[in-house]
Amino acid sequence: MEFGILMGDQPVGSSAREHLDLVLRKAEAAQRAGFTYLTIGQHFLYDGFRWFQPVPLLARLAAEIDDHVRIGTTVLIGPVHHPVVLGEELATLDVITGGRLVVGLGTGYLPQEYATMGVPFAQRYRLLEEMIEVMTAMWSSDRVRHHGRFWQIDDLPTHVHPLQQPRPPIWLGAMRETGVRRAARHGDVWTITPQQTLEQVDALIRTYAAERTERGLPLNPLPLRRELMIGADFDDAVARFAAVARGKYEAYAGRGMTLLDDEEVRNFGDTVRDHVILGSAEECRRQIADIAAALPVGPLLVRPHWPGMDVDETVAYLDHVGREIVGPLRELESRSFTDFLETPAA
């Protein structure tokens, strides 16, 4: 089992220089702790929190990563970008990283980001599908011709190709069945979101597998996003998690991410119990082992930093998780897709 981190946002009250230092220290500590995936998401004109843009930030981090570590996006808001611009930027980034880029794409959830870019929010899913088609053609061919609904390219040469052929791995985020089917058709894996229960994930993986199998596409382990907090015991872990994460959950609900409603956020302790890894170190290891035994997943991606945590707290979290989780579970293997599909649904 491999482990990765999500490098997210920081309150705008901290300086940009401090924020960059936090990211660099986080990357250093994560690698020291045994994490092998470093990823970041994306937002634009975001209220109260700063999101460094992924492509230039990951290019900076490429100079800091070990040879066995991969970096990537989880997720880029694909449809607000022109596919030629984004495709060439990502191809360049794959070259810079030595072919260790993972391209995580999604549609986001904020209509104002689309309005600002002059992109129709209602068309976001069709835009995402078409942009993947354009970028894949750019990455894998010497010339590209595309006549689609949104973009027209008349037999033009391509000049920047990624080292990974035919393309870097595309991870598509999705929360519901329609999106999971889209991920199966257009991506290489579906990135499992952190708020879904294991029962929900089990059913959606079967949907994903059926869609892939129908098209003769390979089945690879699925990246799993999960929040993780170690405490003296379960109740202590819940209290620790609430102290750092509750505000962010409230912000998500307030901005329209409807996976958790206002009532679920108010009943925070009860809400997080069914989708966050919580407990003593031993209990957390057992929960992860149970997930790996039940589902074809990996890597497991966790958030080591919540807005408001300082550098020392973040480094201490990574050191602790590396010592108690990453190291002891390094040899853990997740369930194969073959075995998973031979077993009736949970």
> Are 329 and 284 in contact, with CB atoms under 8 Å apart?
no
Tell me which amino acid residue 160 is.
Answer: V
Domains along the sequence of the chain with CATH: 3-74+169-228+281-342 (3.20.20.30)
pLDDT of residue 261: 61
> Are 155 and 143 in contact, with CB atoms under 8 Å apart?
yes
To the nearest whole number, what is the mean pLDDT of the chain? Answer: 93
pLDDT of residue 254: 57
Tokens of 228: 């993780």
pLDDT of residue 247: 72
Under-70 pLDDT residues of the chain: 250-267, 346
User: Greatest CA span in the chain, whole angstroms?
Assistant: 62
Q: How far apart are CA 65 and CA 138, in angstroms?
A: 27
Q: Which residue has the tokens 């912000």?
A: 251
The bridge status of strand 143-147 relative to strand 101-106 is unpaired
- The pTM (predicted TM-score) of the whole model is 0.94
> Are 291 and 302 in contact, with CB atoms under 8 Å apart?
no
pLDDT of residue 159: 98
* Closest to 257 in 3D by CA, of 113, 105, 123, 83: 113
